[in-house]
A and B are shown apart, each in its own frame.
Chain A
Amino acid sequence: MNSLDFSIVAQAWPYLWSGLLLSLSLTVAAFLIGMLLGTLFALVQHFELRILSQVVRSYVALMRSIPLILVLFWFFFLVPIVLGHLSGNGRPIPTGATYTALITFGLFEAAYYSEIIRVGLRAVNKGQFEACQALALSTFDTYHHVVLPQVFRVASPIILSQTIILFQDTSLVYVLSLTDLLGAASKLAQLNGRLVEMYLAAAAVYLILSSVASQFVASLRKRYAVAGTYR
């Protein structure tokens, strides 16, 4: 067993930091895409739009049944082809791994977020809808101003928990050879041979960030449990 030398981590920190920035930007971007699409998917199912809701349901079930790594492989293969078709000339357009990862995570997480919001919508008190009808609010206003804000609020701890999982899942872009936090640690480990220090450092960063975030979620949950509204 070689003696450990964590000063190497300090030297490597700028590179690790740039990796972490990629992990975080992927998380934020995928969160935004995922929430937007997820809300749409949830509403489609909530309104029981006939064919569309069947399609969305199948999509969600599919995404929840296959491993994220396989989804990454699929999209890495499919996105250039689809973009080629969309652009009209039919030839695949090479897409950077970063964009592929972004699209994959956004679409993948949309399935999970939509489930959260769908259940949230179901849990909104019937009286809220009746009150909106009594006030003659349009369907759009009902959802925009009354229903969705409540759903987001009640579901926020779970949405955030899911986002912490998303942050951890971004480490899987390793299989696309991207330089996220883990990718950076792994590349440095191969260069300088200090893989113990590098991987332990990466693990510590993930552990700290995720723990702090889950503490925040726990406190949020507690606060809402006390408020106890929206039943």
Chain B
Amino acid sequence: MFGVLLEKTMDGQRYIDWLLSGLGWTLALAFFGWWIAFAIGVVVGIGRTVRSSFFGGLARLYVEIFRNIPVLVQMFLWYFVLPELLPSAMGDWIKQIPPPWGSFFPALWCLSLYTAARIAEQVRAGIEALPKGQPEAAAALGLSRYLTYRHIILPQALRLIVPSLTSEVMGIYKNTSVALTIGMMELTAQARQISDATFQTFTAFGAATLIYLTLALIAYQTMMLIDRAVRIPGTAPGREAVGLDIDDSILESPLPGNMEVVK
């Protein structure tokens, strides 16, 4: 069924090379986007918990804006609107960035900022879930606010949210497909292109689906490994510690623990 992927394309490659190149762009967007998003998300998430109403308000504004506009619309804002709003010399320079990069950077920026807003909310939830006694004990030892965040709050909050970050990891690689709307030839776009060229829609989409499933499995397993690696000795797996009340972090946890079914 996948034989057609090995056939030659008009440009002398094989269709499978198209898919692999698409996979490459998907991975590049997801990987670099993730680390930018994580860095911004941690900072904004901390901002949501500080006492300063200025930084708190700024962080909240950030989250509200980037969470409440669809990714696709944000994609268009960065790609179409931003160059028009900048001084024309700069806008023209942006528009002249050659093809893959002209789409890649707006897409990367867009996915990073969008995902950062979601990570920020997870970080905030993690910080707020810590017992009040922790910052109190740190204060009683004379630790400053900065030292308390650095050594007491963040190390615990980040451990706590590893399971719920899994769904953000999966979210960012799935959202890379939105970049096809601004001309990024990532995995889904390549699958559609193969389908259009060969009329083997089932094969083209099937191959892309299998690749996405593999990525999901890898993301899931990696996060499980990280969760296990950073677990504090003597504590139960994260879930039990949080308790039974339903909240997003539990519900947005990824695959229902039975990925083997779809392997």
Interface residues of A (CB under 8 A from B): 1-2, 54, 57-58, 60-62, 64-70, 73-74, 77, 115-116, 118-120, 123, 154-155, 158, 161, 164, 168-169, 171-172, 174-175, 182, 186, 189, 195-196, 199-200, 202-203, 206-207, 210-211, 214, 231
Contacts and interface: CB of A to CB of B under 8 A. Distances in A.
19 contacts: A1-B85, A1-B87, A57-B261, A60-B256, A61-B259, A67-B178, A67-B188, A73-B192, A74-B209, A77-B202, A154-B246, A158-B247, A164-B68, A172-B72, A182-B70, A182-B72, A202-B73, A203-B77, A206-B69
Interface string B205-244: 1001100110111000000000000000000000000001
A77 B199 CA distance: 11
Contacts of A66: 174, 209, 212-213, 216
Contacts of B175: 67
Contact of A73 (B77, B88, B188, B262): B188
Interface range for B: 35 or more
Nearest to B255: A61
Contacts of A118: 256
A123 B213 contact: no
B17 to A, nearest CB: 20
Nearest to A164: B68
B11 interface: no
Contact of A195 (B81, B202, B215, B216): B81
Contacts of B62: none
A199 B256 CA distance: 37
A161 B121 CA distance: 13
Contacts of B71: 168
Contacts of A196: 80-81, 84-85
Given A64-B254, A168-B71, A196-B80, 12 more contacts: A58-B261, A70-B177, A70-B188, A74-B205, A174-B72, A199-B73, A199-B80, A199-B81, A200-B81, A202-B73, A203-B73, A231-B245
B184 to A, nearest CB: 12
A123 B245 contact: yes
A66 B208 CA distance: 9
B201 A77 contact: yes
B162 interface: no
Given A69-B180, A231-B245, A62 B77 contact: no
Given A61-B258, A61-B262, A206-B73, A69 B188 contact: yes
Given A118-B256, A199-B73, A210 B68 contact: yes
Contacts of A195: 80-81, 84
A189 B73 CA distance: 13
A179 to B, nearest CB: 15
A200 B73 CA distance: 9
Nearest to A69: B177
Nearest to B215: A65
Contact of A155 (B65, B91, B246, B261): B246
A116 B88 CA distance: 48
